[in-house]
Amino acid sequence: MNRLVMIAILALSAIGVAAQTGHKAPDNQYKANMESNTIKIAIEGGRTFTATLVDNSSTQALRELLAKGSITVEMEDYANMEKVGSLGVRLPRNDKQTTTGPGDIILYQGHNLVIYYETNSWSFTRLGKINNASQADLKAALGRGDVTVTLPLE
């Protein structure tokens, strides 16, 4: 078979698969983030962190949500150890007994996003961990009381 014809057939096949599955080609930044498995977390007041996600069906669903646009979560302080707020949607759960630490990002009850700045142990779904942030950094950025956190589409 002619090399040019073979390339054309492969290209058309790829387009057909993308059309059948409803997938569109991601932009370069989105593709880079998904390959590195990282997301941004922008905290009200100007502090932005990078977090590395674990590999499970919960984070896959979260990444699919982020592909559609940024997610903003109104978070409340709970028990002086975490910030928690509803995502507004349910994600698949992968709960197992987990001990958290500062910077851990957890899915609780399938719809609550939790950012820990202290430790806790419970049956949670681990989503990831904020990179290179100390407990003091997290407490300073998250502040006291309620805070707005955005997972920007970048």
Residues 56-114 pLDDT 10s: 999 999 999 999 999 999 999 999 999 999 999 999 999 999 999 999 999 999 999 99
Query: What confidence tier does 35 reach under pLDDT thresholds 50, 70, 90?
Result: low
Tell me the mean pLDDT in the region 116-131. Answer: 97
Name the nearest CA neighbour of 83 among 118, 59, 50, 109.
118
For residues 30 and 67, is the Cβ–Cβ distance under 8 A?
yes
The phi and psi torsions of 89 (rounded to 5 degrees) equal: -145, 160
Sign of the torsion formed by the C-alpha atoms of 54, 55, 56 and 58: positive
Beta strands 82-86; 71-78: pairing state: antiparallel
Contact present, 110 and 91 (Cβ < 8 Å): yes
What pLDDT is stored for residue 36 in this prediction?
Answer: 61
Which amino acid type is present at position 77?
A: D
- Tokens (6 digits) for 30: 């989105």
Question: Residue 26 pLDDT > 50, yes or no?
Answer: no
pLDDT of residue 46: 86
pTM over 0.85: no
In whole numbers, what is the pLDDT of the chain averaged over residues?
Answer: 83
Please give the C-alpha separations between residue 112 and each of 17, 82, 105, 127, 154, in angstroms, as whole numbers: 34, 12, 10, 11, 22
For 47, counting Cβ atoms within 10 Å of its Cβ (0-12 exposed, 13-18 middle, 19+ buried), the class is: middle
Structure tokens at 87: 């995502």
Average pLDDT over residues 134-148: 95
